[in-house]
Structure 1
Amino acid sequence: MTADARASTPELHTATMNAVQLISQGSPVVATVIPRPAPGAGEVLVRVRAAGICHSDAHYRSGRSPAHPLPLTLGHEVSGDVVATGEGVTDVAVGARVALHYLVICGACDDCRAGREQFCSTGLMLGHYTNGGWAEYIVVPAWNAVPLPDSVSYEHGAVMMCSSSTSLHALRKGRMQAGESVLVIGAGGLGMSAIQLAKRLGASQVIAVDRDARKLALAEQFGATPVSAAGLSVDDVVAAVRNASNGRGVDVALELVGSVDTVQVSLKALAPLGRAVVVGLNNVAVPVDSYRDIIGREAELIGSNDHLRSELVELMTLAADGHLDLRNVVTHTVPLDADAINGVLDALDRHEAPVRTVIVP
């Protein structure tokens, strides 16, 4: 059976679709009309229903992080409906609601076979090194389509593909155990998920640091102890975190911002044997006092990169069971419009964006 024969939507007979693409780093993204992709063997065609705007997208637009080949359709937080399947696809049906794991992998290299797909030797990330979801349609391998429960909205499912899953992976990398304290630096999309997930995993205390009073108020609603970093030096923020943790410091710190100051806070605020997990993108060297920050407390500085498909499945269960609430996290939606999307990216660059904005094509 051909892909067209498996299609359930009349509009699939059109040959083009609308997209918003990065044409040149350092320049605004632009609206384009490009060929609509067709699924090949083992692939599915997804009608995009929601696509998140992540701080990483602002990095790609500015050139602070590489993105290619250009022109490139950005968007790595994607959910939608399967509208066509390619030859050999038997485990994903037309009409299925899905969210998309953003790592397209070979499945055969040593890392893939060991369950470390983020290190696949030929891996490509949607919206970073291959076309993403800021478009009306996207084609991905069927393996990348994760079932989206009926009780989870498309908008929330899209955001879970990056912010929630990256936060869960970072907590796992930090080896967080029930009864330990957690510091979340950056109360944006990742931070709100990190707070809820840390509480769900049994954290004794979660402290949230941000400069935005509105975000800190939401973090407090999720059970975090808020610490404002507005106008404070690194040492002042560290002192405030230690004061909030009864002077001891925290067991696990998640750095979700990507600045020199926040990485330093994550290290300096640790308790003995604490683990600082760096997630935020940053291309500037961070000074580290090796004795005071690491050796003296036997602390650890850990990198956390992406997440695993298995963690996405786990997150879907948590969300369906009501343990991950994104209703107040996805605060804004915009259409598939270049001006609107550039406005959100501009606000992200200024660290003034809402918690999370999602494109609804």
Structure 2
Amino acid sequence: MRSVQIVELGKPLQLRQTALPEPGPGEIRVRVEAAGICHSDLHYRDGVASVAKLPITPGHEIAGRVDALGESVTELAIGDRVALHYLVTCGRCDACARGLEQFCKHGQMLGKHRDGGYAQYALAPARNAIPVAEGVGMAEAAIMMCSSATAFHALRKARIAPGDRVAVFGCGGLGLSAIQLAHACGAAQVFGIDIDAGKLAAAHGYGAIPVDPADGAPVRQLREATGGDGVEVALEFAGLPLTQRQAVAALAVQGRAAIAGITHAAFEIDSFGDLICREAEVIGVSDHLRSELVTLMEFTRRGQLDLKSVVTETIPLDADAINARLDALAGFRGHGRIVITP
């Protein structure tokens, strides 16, 4: 089968012929119909974040049809439409028992530890399959597995409540999902902060109040728009020390900043002015839970989460095309989500 793989860190992905994988006990093989391109894949390609082996097939936003069943798999059938939860967990360790599956002591991730979805076929445990609801497209289901799921998990970690004011720093694929989900959770106001005019327009289209840093410091704009109070919830998806500082500085009394953007760079906090005086919180966000994916699928089926327009482009399983889109992500160019359709 054809697979686009990371062969050497810091080098472009390569199209390679690889063996068709056979499902083991409890596993399924999925014929990939959609695989989202995520900023994390750029980090893996460039060696900013580690992968477990080389070569490896990246891609953790996967949807397709069940193509083969391993031994003892009875809950699925050939041809079923499924999306894949990318966290492969043991289900037995302390973390799994506490409902913290993203911290499983034996956990692995599709596209990072195991071959992922930049290929014609992918393997996963049957328990990782999320049935794709009627009326939900494969591209929508694929990006739901990461960008929407991370956005939803961030909102839940930030304990969003009806009436909260929410600021979303970074209006790419995660941010656009977060804006919609914040409205669905009852937010009174949602602000979208980005330097890209196209992303701000997309955020405005989903009901966010656009905040352009070119018009002045975002924190000042947010405080002016909230009568000086600030926001109860700030979500940071850009992965930049600057926006992480801004997310914390924009908080209201007892506000919560959920940090999901990936960077190894440190950011400064005014511990007295931004935290102590407001009893504010800074919360790390790591991945998501399988149960949240089921909820998201239902949101999408009901029309409460529109992912069709979040998918801005589909491309073939072509190494040059994929590398070009990853290069664009490196420059923070473009908005929405790009999906590979093998």
TM-score by length of 2: 0.98
Indicate yes or no: 2:309 matched with 1:328: yes
Indicate yes or no: 2:24 matched with 1:40: yes
2:125 corresponds, among 141, 145, 155, to 141
Q: After TM superposition, what 4+ stretches of structure 1 lie above 3 angstroms from structure 2?
A: none
Q: Which runs of 5+ in 2 are unaligned?
A: none
In the aligned structure 1, how far is the partner of 2:6 from the partner of 2:222? 39
2:293 is matched with which residue? 312
SS of residue matched to 1:73: coil
In the aligned structure 2, how far is the partner of 1:282 from the partner of 1:229? 21
Indicate yes or no: 2:259 matched with 1:275: no
CA contact (8 A) 1:21 1:134 kept: yes
1:168 is matched with which residue? 152
User: How far 1:229 moved relative to its partner?
Assistant: 2.3
2:63 is matched with which residue? 79
1:3 is matched with which residue? none
Give the 5 Å matches for 1:197-236. 197-230=181-214, 236=217
Indicate yes or no: 2:91 matched with 1:107: yes
User: How far 1:54 moved relative to its partner?
Assistant: 0.6
One-letter code aligned to 1:21: Q
Sort the Cα spacing of 1:231 and 1:334 in 2 relative to 1 into closer, same or farther, 3 A. Answer: farther
1:239 corresponds, among 220, 240, 246, to 220
2:36 is matched with which residue? 52
Indicate yes or no: 2:303 matched with 1:352: no
Sort the Cα spacing of 1:316 and 1:296 in 2 relative to 1 into closer, same or farther, 3 A. Answer: same
Indicate yes or no: 2:164 matched with 1:183: no
CA contact (8 A) 1:332 1:354 kept: no
CA contact (8 A) 2:60 2:146 kept: yes
2:176 is matched with which residue? 192
In the aligned structure 2, how far is the partner of 1:237 from the partner of 1:225? 12
User: How far 1:285 moved relative to its partner?
Assistant: 1.2
In the aligned structure 2, how far is the partner of 1:100 from the partner of 1:165? 12
User: How far 1:321 moved relative to its partner?
Assistant: 0.6
Sort the Cα spacing of 1:92 and 1:129 in 2 relative to 1 into closer, same or farther, 3 A. Answer: same
User: How far 1:57 moved relative to its partner?
Assistant: 0.9
User: How far 1:354 moved relative to its partner?
Assistant: 3.0
User: How far 1:149 moved relative to its partner?
Assistant: 1.0
User: How far 1:231 moved relative to its partner?
Assistant: 8.1
SS of residue matched to 2:18: strand
2:282 is matched with which residue? 301
One-letter code aligned to 1:74: P
SS of residue matched to 2:78: coil
CA contact (8 A) 1:209 1:226 kept: yes
2:81 is matched with which residue? 97
CA contact (8 A) 2:236 2:259 kept: yes
In the aligned structure 1, how far is the partner of 2:86 from the partner of 2:179? 23
CA contact (8 A) 1:80 1:97 kept: yes
Give the 5 Å matches for 1:8-23. 17-23=1-7
One-letter code aligned to 2:283: I
User: How far 1:246 moved relative to its partner?
Assistant: 2.5
In the aligned structure 2, how far is the partner of 1:231 from the partner of 1:340? 35
TM-score by length of 1: 0.93
1:131 is matched with which residue? 115
CA deviations over 1:193-245 (Å, ceiling 9, x no partner): 1000000000011000011111111111111100012486xxx1211121222
CA contact (8 A) 1:58 1:348 kept: yes
In the aligned structure 1, how far is the partner of 2:214 from the partner of 2:33? 36
One-letter code aligned to 2:62: V
User: How far 1:156 moved relative to its partner?
Assistant: 0.4
CA contact (8 A) 2:174 2:237 kept: yes
SS of residue matched to 2:160: coil
Q: Which runs of 5+ in 1 are unaligned?
A: 1-16
CA contact (8 A) 1:225 1:244 kept: no
1:289 is matched with which residue? 270
Fraction of identical pairs, as percent: 52
User: How far 1:349 moved relative to its partner?
Assistant: 0.2
CA contact (8 A) 1:212 1:230 kept: no
User: How far 1:68 moved relative to its partner?
Assistant: 2.2
In the aligned structure 2, how far is the partner of 1:27 from the partner of 1:312? 33
One-letter code aligned to 2:282: L
CA contact (8 A) 2:171 2:335 kept: no
